[in-house]
Amino acid sequence: MNSNERWLVEESRKGNVDAFEELIRDYKKSAYNIALRVLRNVEDAEDASQEALIKIYKSINNFNMESTFKVWMYRIVVNTCIDFKRKKSINAVSIDETIDLGSGREIQREISDESNNPDALIDRSFSTQLVNDAIGKLEDDFKTIIILRDIKGFTYGEISEILSCNLGTVKSRLSRARKSLKELLEKEMKQS
């Protein structure tokens, strides 16, 4: 943790709201994006990420400065999303599918494609939907670890801190998650 971030944490502990706002400024968008990927709903993601930021502010005195603030913060965001999901019985995760904007509005995320070949576009669309469906069928623990590692790019060590489990558990859970995802994809491909 750099000295400026350390100072901002110390000031936040003293109740300095401006310091806290500066501390989380660079992380807010990423926290929201994690919540959106987990919850698949704009309004729920906004609520969960705001709830997480409030928890972070209230519990900043519990931050021990041994890990990075970013990892500590994302652990709270992930746990808040899990709690939020339990409360609302939400049961879906998406990489690139329709996101509910509320008020009957939806958007479709798109994967960029440099190819103008119609067959390639159809194949890519089919593949994306296939992967989305398979991820949607994974257990919550597997969904979360796939999002953190394969989508958000966190290191094994960071995931270990975020999920509060040891490195061996992260590696084995990720291996099992990828195996389950592969099996689901193979099953879907055979049915197609």
- Read off the pLDDT of residues 52-110 as tens digits, 9 standing for 90 and up: 999 999 999 999 888 788 889 999 999 998 888 888 764 444 444 555 556 666 655 44
Burial of 2 (0-12, 13-18, 19+ CB in 10 A): exposed
Tens digit of pLDDT for each residue in 102-152? 666 665 544 444 444 544 544 555 566 777 778 778 888 898 888 888 878
* Torsion over CA: 87, 92, 95, 99 (sign): negative
Contact 48, 81 (CB under 8 A): yes
- What is the pairing mode between strands 98-102 and 105-108? antiparallel
Contact 162, 154 (CB under 8 A): yes
In the prediction, which pLDDT does 122 show? 45
Residues of the chain with pLDDT > 90, as a percent, come to 31
Burial of 31 (0-12, 13-18, 19+ CB in 10 A): buried
Tell me which architecture the domain covering 3-191 has in CATH. Orthogonal Bundle (1.10)
Say yes or no to pLDDT of 156 above 50.
Answer: yes
| CA dist 143 → 37, 82, 174, 182 (Å) | 10, 11, 9, 13
Give the span between the Cα atoms of 74 and 80, in whole angstroms: 10
Give the span between the Cα atoms of 108 and 100, in whole angstroms: 9
6 vs 93, residue with greater confidence:
6
In the prediction, which pLDDT does 104 show? 65
Contacts of 39 (CB under 8 A, 6+ apart): 45, 48, 81, 84, 85, 90
3-state DSSP assignment of residue 108: strand
Predicted confidence band at 35 (pLDDT cuts at 50, 70, 90)? Answer: confident
